Structures are given as structure tokens and as C-alpha cells.
Chains A and B, each alone.
Chain A
Amino acid sequence: MKDLHTMKVYEEQGGYRSLKKAFAQKPEEIVEAVKASGLRGRGGAGFPAGLKWSFLAKDVFPRYLCCNADESEPGTCKDRELMLKNPHMLIEGMILCSYACRVETGYIYLRGEFHDLNFNLEKALEDAYAKGYLGKNILGSGFNFNLHTHLGAGAYICGEESALLNSLEGERGEPRMKPPFPAVEGLYAKPTVVNNVETLCVVPYIVNEGAEKYASLGTEKSKGTKLVSVSGHVKKPGNYEVVLGTPIREIIYDLAGGIRDGNKLKAFIPGGSSVPMLPADQVDVSYDYESLAAAGTMLGSGAMIVIDDSVNIVETTLRLISFYMHESCGKCTHCREGTRWLYQIVERIMQNKGQLEYIEKMEDICDNMAMKTFCPLADACVSPVVSSIKYFRSDYEEYFKNVPVSSV
């Protein structure tokens, strides 16, 4: 829709009408509604949003709401488009969430590279303040809410909620020890809700249309719709909104137009680079949290990266390991050393100097790294390695065939 980012058009489309409705209810009722809707966090972890909100430490004030707009998960670009085209929806969602959680100050943590987007958001904020949707005594409800934007400075790890909080507090973006969880001790050690852009954008719908309507979409455990950023070897890459439970085949072949250049699908990563990849024969898996979990992967951030058969998976894997190696914060030993070691091994394999034993070694290294680190970045690095070995071992073995005998 054209100009949806302007206040005029947004209001014409019914924007901000949820506020009055919400203020007529008690904050707890809204939390319950979000719980009942089955909305799960759309940033990557998929944690039930309403439940997260209810974890806020009782009777501790002030509280904060942070919108995680750090969008750095490779393959993911839905939040950028959302904020570019429909910033007011985010603002509206944040106002509702803050009302429900009794929060009076909110921050939108944007990744540093979204500098221009920040201008747009600030303009939208200005307009919202002017209309009385933000600030003191919003629409006469007695509820105050101030919202600001905050830019990061280039660190993927700051998308992790506790690292985001550290970064917002002006520190190095290293994750924090949990417990305590942000809901108890978050920003400035106060109870804080951290939610993804998309998650918050759903809230106005739930308030306007009701939790049941939202829950009527999707599957039993994955309610509602999801924005999927489809990229890679497809004819029509783009952001698509799908009802959860849609078969992936539909997403890749119908929405995104199928594989380009007449190639065949080889693999796809259904939830951003941090989740295990799946081979083409799994393309009928249903696009929802539980089905993907059953298939050994995750819905994650909802970025569908499509890989066709023109590619040797090892090359892709190396590129991904390289990403995690660069983005590791360096705090814990496994991630700092392990991501680099994996990179060195795969690099050597690609230089035709590898040995078959490397695969077992990599599997063991991944086993030593997974679930033992301070935060899940190491697990994210391990995902492409383990899944590529599992499903595309032959791609690795291709390289071993080329190893000259004398170099072993």
C-alpha cells in the first residue's frame, strides 16, 4: 500500500484505533489475550510472547520495552521492510505492549546500518507524538509512554536479547549471564520485555480482531502468520506473509516462483542461517514451529534461504562458518576458538588438502561446542556444519577425491 508509512494513510486504514479499545481493558487482559492468541516470538527463539510478558517481575518499576530491530540473521530482511513501509504498526504494537506490561519507556534497538530507516522511524515517532499517541496521558487514559530509537554499531551478537541490553547500556555487546532473565533484571537491572519487530506488529491485530481470530490461523502450536524472507536461488525473492502450517513447497515454488535458471532444489535453510539446513526431499515439511522441530531444524527468524544444485554445500557452509567466526563476541572459549578451527578445517578441505578423518573431527568439535557455551551463537555455527555433513556428506567427499596423495 502506498504511503502506509504516513500517519494520514495509516490512520485512514484504521491505524491506532486499537489504542482506545485497549485502554478500555485492564492491562492484564491484554496479556491474556496475547497468550490466548498463541503468538510466538518472531525473532528466532519462538517463545510464546504473552507468556514472556507475564514473567515480568511483579511490583518492580520502572519497566522497559525493547524492540529488537537488530535484524542481522543472514537471510532475514523482513523487519527492515516492515519498518520502512509500515512504521506506525510497530509503534502501535509497542504502545499496546507497554500498556499491557505497565511500561513507560521503550526503545527500538536498530542495527547500526539502519541509519536511514532510523530517520523514517523518528519521523513516524514525531507524528505519533503530535497526535497524542505517545507521551503523557495518551488519549486521556492516564497511561504515559515514551518511545525512542537507538542505533547499534555493527554486531550480530547484539540481536541476542541480553547482549542487546548490554549494548543499549553502552557496553560491549557480550551476552549476560542468565538467570537473572530480562523479565526480572533487564535494562538497567529493571524488568524488561524484549520482542522482535514482527511480534510487536501483530499485537494491534490481536487487540482489534481478538485472540481467537488470530488463533484460528495456523496450526495447533504455531498460530497466526509469519513473514518469510525468501532469498537465494529463487526466481522471485522477497518477503511473503504466510499462514503457519503452509507447506514449504508452496513457499518456494508458488510464492517465490521456484528455482531459477532451470536448476533443481538441493537444500534450503528454513529459518535463517543459524538453523540446520534440510535437503530437497524435505520440501513438503509444513512451515510451522513444531513440524520443523520434528524435522530436526527450527523456524528461527523465518528466512528461507534456497540453494540449488549448482552449488557445493561445503562452500556455503564455509561462508556461514566465516560469518559466525566474525561475529563471535569472544567471551567463551568454545565459540572463540571453535568457530575459527571449524573455518580452518573446512577451508583446508576446500583447498583439496583435507582428509576423511576431518569429518569425524568436525562432528566431534561440534559436539564439544553445542549446548556448552555462554549463548547460542556457537550452536548457530554448529548447525550448518552438522546438517551439511548429515545430508551432503558426498559434497565433502568430492573434495577428498581431489586431494593429491603426496599432500596427505
Chain B
Amino acid sequence: MSDNEVTLTIDGKSVTVPKGTKVVDAAKQVDVAIPVFCYHEKIGPLGCCRMCLVEVEKMPKLMTACTMDVMPDMVVKTTTEKVEKAQKGVLEFTLLNHPLDCPVCDKGGECPLQDNTFKYGMPDTRMEFHRANNAKATPLSPVITIDRERCIACQRCTAYSERIEQDQGLVMLNRGFHNEVGTFNNEPYDNRFSGNVIDICPVGALTNTDFRFKARTWDLTNAATLCAHCGCNCNITMGTRLNKLMRVEARPNDAVDDGWICDKARWGHHFVHSENKILTARENSRGDGKPTSFPVLPHDCTIEVAAGKVAEAFKKIVEEHGPESVGFIGSPYGTNEENYLYQKLFRHCLGSNNIDHKTYQDAPGLPVSHYDVEQIETSNVVLLIASDPTEELPILDLRIKKAVTTCGTRLVSLNDQKIALDRYSSQSVQYKVGCEALAIDALTNGLARELGESAPAQGSDQSGVSAEDMKSLVETVRTSMKICVVYNPSALSGEAVFGVKRLLKMIAKVPTMECGAMPAAPMTNAVGAMDMGLLPGFYPGAVPMSEQEEIKKQWGENAPTGTGLSALEMIACAGKGQLKALLVHRSNPVMDFPGGSQVVEALKKLDFLVVHDMLETETAKLANLVLPSNGPGYDEGTTTNIGGRVQARTKALETDHAPDWKIINLMLNALGDETDYDKVADVTEEIAFRVPGYQEISKRSVGKTGCNRESIASADELVSAKPAGPGKNGSLRLRIATFLFAHDKILEASSKLAHHFQPSTAYLHEKDAQRLGIEDGDTVLLSAENVNLEATAKVNNRCQSGGVVVPRVSDEQGVNGLIGVDGGMAWVEIRKV
């Protein structure tokens, strides 16, 4: 036994645990369950409920096991007469004024108070007075109901608000018997993690308003699956009844979410029952009345028929116009299996490398280790680049707060806008909108100078970061010893992302430095999409087209090795009539790509457009053929999160409709590939076989908590950053920011989270506002590319002068239309309306 371990005896059983472990946790190790209410492993001991009283030899009074550290040779007894009497006493006090609501309380069946009373309490009560009344079923927020009569004042929720969320929104008010949980001035408890209090409340005081009275917990079928929103891939449990989604709960996974989920995960999955779901394959008339020369779908055809028709049509076009004339725009929201099969279809069967899934530049792999989320807590410095976890990856926000406040980690932010996490950062360095490449390169050069290396990038002091700030940043990075770089490739304009890779290489050169990175794009499976080769220049596993030998070995002699078109290039080519056919999977270029109406025009010019999606979209309206995608809730497969962790989605709902991977399988079959996948695990197996980095990935290794894939090395990039050019007089550079609760196809008007929807807002620097004669609160019009967007101006210096930040708050806003169809930096004119 080392110095850091302690051996003690609990109920006669010997157990050895690390120093500092609480007795209640040590007991779990030897299967001794000490009942608790207020104790929660992640929140820490509170000592409020007194349920965990145990007897300790040589101590005169009973002690609470949750607050007591283990001591060497301690002898703990949890089942003596004294303890049993104390437990009965605690429960009697706890139930003294607790209403007998069990028949109508949602918590019934999963209620620790019920369970502990059954196990340790008395069958009756000696309380003969009227129980105290308090407010019942009051809205604490639009999604949480609080019943103060049921509250046992364990303070778990208020401690959660203080220690985990760290915003002190939920507090204890009053004193003594009048203790109650509340908010400031009865305002709604309205942050993005509020729902976790429902999971942790040990009674039915804090309940899910959406789930209220809908089902009994024991009637639910629970599926251990993943959230389908951001790149964190938090683990959730979907509870369904009679094949309808009833509720979502957290499913603790220390390696990902640390036991918490954000409110979008909890209440943002109603799209699974959306009225806008595409349920059957259909043909669109495209509204222009032109007859198509393409196979007509028989009415009510089977999916086999539809898939077959699509495959045939593509084959025909390739035969006529060559493989360069067809393309695939996939999605970072597709599963690994779906993405893998689609790129296989296009490459293997159609010979085309026109495959992509995004509109920003990036290349797969990293020149350093791919850190998992847990490593944030063991890093000395976390460097955010162009990343805003609070909006983009909420659980990462909590994890960073935890690391900063309890693990001694320092947060440094290098961003073009102010972010909520700035409060926790020891350094917040802001570069001008559009100047990220310059700032990143300046950091790289600074480090190079310190290391005596040659500066790899062109220097420039135009980034908007002062020399002093940059020097300080260089110093912080250089002396960090263990650094985790979290960068958002989708927020880096131009080729700046390659600057990040260059920076990482330079950091790794610092002696005794441990450096890792996390590509933190907000989309669910952005990392997986890159790994699966949904890229015009890479095969799965980050194998670049230049590795021809390796490609042919793995994929056959006919595997195409010429770099294909990127998504934006495909749109451009479509507009020129060079691209004839396009298949779009779980993506909505009309709304989400830059270019606005030009995208529509381009797509209209295609001979054949197929959209394979879950919900009706603007792009689907333009398609010749629409195929149904089951989507999250129904689908199965794996996704790879920002930490490189591959986890499994299991289906929570049943449907007769074929899963996507089966549909693509049918297409493959129709095109001559005879592989038959019986179940999705078969595809996963093939991925393990074919994709470098995924060798260890299987249904078993992924299990319920996931498995990291190997770090994938990046190819050398020699692209140098170009400083963003000057704009037209008076115009500002546009920075579209992510907003977690955007009103879009996923969060519809009927969403439970609709109270979070925000109006269109443009954030300006005071210098620009003054110059343009705009005041805080004015209605303004942003114009670019013949698109006008109305917004309310907010002058709060969110970005430096010269830029304007516009969060994407809805589909309607159409903000992507302000960017040119080639995806470059957008310059907008702003004027007061």
C-alpha cells in the first residue's frame, strides 16, 4: 500500500482506496450501499440530509459518511442498531412535511426518497399535525417545474448551480424551516444547463415540465444513446413509450460529459416526431414543368426501387459525362457508417472524388496527439482558438470551468470575439475579425523565435493583437508544459486552419512539452466525417490523394486518386453546367452554404439532384428525388466526437423504414458492389478493417462508453496565410457566430426551448457604431451580395473595430446569404434603418 492509499474496514470488509476518498465512496467499492440524498459524486459533500450517518469505532457520535475522509485503520459499521435508529429518524424528519404525492408525482419509481424509505424507514409516521403547505407545481422556467412542498432542502440543486454551472442562478432563500430554492426575484432559471437539476433532485421537487404526467418511469423503454446536436456527443438515455419519445436524461460518462447534458440535448430532440419529416421516397416535379429524362419513381415504391433508380441514374450520367460530372455533399451530422458507405459508393462505384461535407477549409489529422475531453482537466493550459464552447459545445464549457476552478488549469482565449468563458480565462487575446491567420502565425513565429527556430510564416502585425499581448501569449504557451489546444475549424476563415496545424507543430517542438489538440467544430460528427474521408482530397483515415500506392492497395486498382471538387466548387460547377448530378445527404446547401440565391440557381441547373434527408428542407424542394433518412432517435451507428472518441448511437424508436446505411447498401448493390451488410455493426467492422486509426473500433470495444480511435497524423501542409484584403469603404467584416438555441429545422417554433430564441442582432464596436451613426438598439440593415438582413444593433465591443458579429439565430435570418458563393470573407455594409 503506497503513501497515497488508505486501508479501512467497512462492515467487516477491508478496502483500500486513495487518500481523500470519502467513506461513502469507499463503501461502494465493497458493495456496501450507504443511503444518501444530498451527496452527489460530482457536486461534492454537503452534509445537509444526514441520511448517511454511520458508526465509527472510537468516535462518540455517528458521523456522516459523505463528509468523512477515510483514515487508516478506521472501522466503520453501517448496520448497527444505533445506525438503524438514526436512519429511521432521518427519514421521519425528511418525510415530516413531505406531501404524499406519490400517486401523482413524476419521480415515482425512480425516487431515492421512496427507495430509502422502503429500505430504511418506518412504515408509519408519528406526525399528526397538518403538514406545512407550500407552492405546488410552479414554473421555475418554461421547462422546469418546481414543487416546493416536496423539496427536502438537500441543496443539491443550489450546490450544482454554484459549483458546476458557476453562475449562482439557483439559490437557497430564507432561513430555517422557510428555506426554499429559488431564483432572483422569481425570474426564470433560464441558463443552458438548467435541466440537470431534474436528474439530480432526489425527490419530485424539480421535474421536467415537458415530461409531466406523460408516462410512468417504469413504463419507459430506455435506450442508451447519444445526443445528436453538437460535437461533444454527450451520452443520453432516451426514454420512450409506445414508440414515442418521452424524455431525455443524462447518462453519465466521465470521459465525455462528466454526468451532465445541456438543455438542447434534453429538450431539443422533439424533431424525431416532427411533422416535417421525410417519410417516403418521392419524386419532385421541381415546379418548372420540364419533363425529366430520368427514371420516374412509381407511386408508393419500395425503398429498394427508389435506391436502385438513384444508383442507375448516377451510373448513366457517369457513363455519359464522366465521373467528374457527379458529386456528393455529405454531412457532419451523418454517422460514420453512413458517411463511410457514401464515400465508398462514389469512389468505388462511380469513380468520383467530388466528395465533401463542409464549406470551410480543413484537412484531417493532427500533427500532435488528439486529446480527449478528460485531458482538459490534466492540462496546465487550455488554449481556445476561434472557439466559443458556451455556444458551440456547451458541455465543454462546463468541463473547462471545472478544470479552471478545481484543477488549476489556466484558460487562454485567442478569439475574434468576446466569449462567455473570458470570465475564466487568465488571458483573452482578441484579433480582428478575419485576421485569425495573422494572429495564429504571429503566435507561431513568436514561439519559433523563443526556440531559435526559423519563423515558418510570413510575419504581420495587422492582426489586431498588440505586440505586448502576443508576447505574453507566447510566454504562456511556451511555459505551459502540458497544453490542450481547442480550435474551431469552421470559424477559421481561408487557410487559417493550416496555420493552426503549423502552430501545433511548433508547440510540440518546445522541450518537455506535452501538446494535444481538439478540432472543435460544433457539428455532431465533424471529426468522424473527416476521418471517413468525406473530402475531395483524402481517403478515409486521412490518406491523401498523393499516397496512390496505399490507396490502390486498400481500395483497388480503379480507386480514383485525383483531387476532387470541394462542396463550394461543386456548387460553382453546377452553376456552370459542368456538374450534372449531385447527391446531398443530411445537408441543406440552400440555407447553410454561402451564396444565398446563387446556390438555388446553381442547383436548379443540375440535371439530377437527389436529396437524402430527415426533414423537409429548402434544398429538398429543389430535388428531383427525395429519399428519407431516419435520423437520430431511429438510427444506429457510431459518431466520433471532438475528443476522437467513437461512441455508439442505439435506436430508441422503432420504424419500418430502412436505415440510411441500408439504403446506401442498396445503392451499392445496384451499382455492382455485392457486399451485403446485415446490421450496422458489419459496416463498423469494415471501417475497422479499412480506415487507419479505427482498427480497434468495434461494437464491443465501443460498448456503452465509447473508445478513442488512434490519433491520426496530418499530412504536411505548406499553405501560407494571406492577410484578408481590405474591404470597401465603410464596410465591416462579417463574423457569423454560433448560437446554441437557433430557431431552425431542429428547434422548430413548437420547441420547448422556443423561449431561448433570439431576434436577429448585429454586434458592433463603438468606434464603428459612432462612425456609422448607429446607437445601441437601432434597427439596422446589413447588405452584401444583394442580400439584405435586418437586425437590431448592439454596441458592446464584442469584436474589434472593423468587424461585426452576427449570431445565426434562425433559418429565416438567412445570414449565410451575405457571404459570396465562393465562401470568402464577407464584407457587409451597415446602415441604420
Contact = CB atoms under 8 A, between A and B. Distances in A.
A and B touch in the complex (CB under 8 A): yes
A177 interface: yes
A361 interface: yes
Nearest to A335: B176
Interface string A324-358: 01111111111011111100100010000000000
A373 B62 CA distance: 9
B393 interface: no
A333 B179 contact: no
A374 B53 contact: no
10 contacts: A172-B172, A327-B176, A329-B176, A331-B47, A334-B93, A338-B93, A340-B177, A344-B129, A372-B53, A372-B89
Contact of B93 (A325, A331, A361, A368): A368
Given A329-B176, A333-B152, 7 more contacts: A327-B176, A328-B177, A331-B179, A332-B48, A333-B49, A368-B85, A368-B89
B90 interface: yes
Interface of B: 45, 47-50, 53, 60-62, 67, 85-86, 88-90, 92-94, 96-97, 126-127, 129, 152-153, 155, 172, 174-179
B320 to A, nearest CB: 76
A48 to B, nearest CB: 19
Given A329-B176, A337-B97, A374 B48 contact: yes
A329 B175 contact: yes
Interface in A346-405: 348, 361, 367-369, 371-374
B719 to A, nearest CB: 51
Contact of B49 (A172, A327, A332, A368): A332
A9 B110 CA distance: 71
- Dominant secondary structure of chain B at its interface with chain A: loop
Contacts of A325: 176-177
B178 A337 contact: no
Given A344-B129, A368-B89, A371-B61, A334 B50 contact: yes
A73 B535 CA distance: 76
Given A172-B172, A327-B176, A371 B62 contact: yes
Given A177-B67, A371-B62, A373-B50, A334 B90 contact: yes
- Dominant secondary structure of chain A at its interface with chain B: helix
B153 A330 contact: yes
A155 interface: yes
Q: Which of A327, A328, A336, A341 has the most CB of B within 10 A?
A: A336
A348 to B, nearest CB: 8
B327 to A, nearest CB: 62
Contacts of A177: 45, 47, 67
Contact of B92 (A155, A328, A368, A373): A368
A367 B90 CA distance: 12
A327 B176 CA distance: 7
Contacts of B152: 333
A337 B47 contact: no
B175 A341 contact: no
Shortest beta-carbon contacts, A-B, top 5: A368-B89, A330-B179, A328-B176, A371-B61, A337-B93
Interface of A: 155, 172, 177, 325-334, 336-341, 344, 348, 361, 367-369, 371-374
A406 to B, nearest CB: 17
Contacts of B60: 371
Q: Which of A177, A339, A371, A372 has the most CB of B within 10 A?
A: A372
Nearest to A176: B47
Contacts of B177: 325, 328, 330, 336-337, 339-340
A339 B67 CA distance: 24
Given A172-B172, A332-B50, A372 B178 contact: no
B175 A333 contact: no
Given A177-B47, A361-B126, A372-B50, A336 B179 contact: yes
Contact of B47 (A155, A326, A332): A332
Nearest to A157: B175
Contacts of A348: 129
Contacts of A155: 175
B62 A372 contact: yes
A327 to B, nearest CB: 7
A379 to B, nearest CB: 10
A326 B85 CA distance: 27
Nearest to A178: B67
Contacts of A341: 93, 96, 127, 129
A328 B153 CA distance: 13
A332 B62 CA distance: 15
Contacts of B53: 372
B55 to A, nearest CB: 12
A373 B96 CA distance: 17
Q: Which of B45, B86, B89, B153 has the most CB of A within 10 A?
A: B89
Contacts of A332: 47-50
Contacts of A328: 175-177
A105 to B, nearest CB: 26
Given A328-B177, A368-B89, A372-B61, A333 B48 contact: yes
B775 to A, nearest CB: 37
A334 B87 CA distance: 11
A160 to B, nearest CB: 14
A337 B53 CA distance: 17
Q: Which of A332, A333, A334, A374 has the most CB of B within 10 A?
A: A333
A330 B97 CA distance: 14
Contacts of B153: 330-331, 333, 336
Nearest to B152: A333
Given A177-B45, A332-B49, A332-B50, A326 B176 contact: yes
Q: Which of B61, B126, B172, B176 has the most CB of A within 10 A?
A: B176
Given A177-B45, A368-B85, A374-B47, A333 B93 contact: yes
A333 B176 contact: no
A331 B127 CA distance: 21
Contacts of B127: 341
Contacts of A329: 175-176
Q: Which of A325, A326, A332 has the most CB of B within 10 A?
A: A332
Nearest to B127: A341
Contacts of B174: 330
Nearest to B126: A361
A326 B94 CA distance: 19
Nearest to A324: B176
Contact of A336 (B61, B62, B129, B176): B176
A369 B85 CA distance: 11
A336 B126 CA distance: 17
A339 B179 CA distance: 14
B93 A330 contact: no
A330 B62 contact: no
B61 A330 contact: no
Contacts of A336: 93, 153, 176-177, 179
Nearest to B171: A172
Nearest to A154: B175
A331 B96 contact: no
B588 to A, nearest CB: 50
A368 B48 contact: no
Contacts of A373: 50
Given A172-B172, A341-B96, A372-B50, A333 B178 contact: no
Contacts of A369: 89
Contacts of A334: 50, 89-90, 93
Contacts of A337: 93-94, 96-97, 177
Contact of B94 (A333, A371, A372): A333
A115 B389 CA distance: 48
Nearest to B51: A333
Contacts of B94: 333, 337
Given A371-B61, A372-B89, A333 B50 contact: yes
Contacts of B129: 341, 344, 348
Contact of B90 (A333, A344, A371): A333
Q: Which of B45, B48, B175, B178 has the most CB of A within 10 A?
A: B175
A330 B178 contact: yes
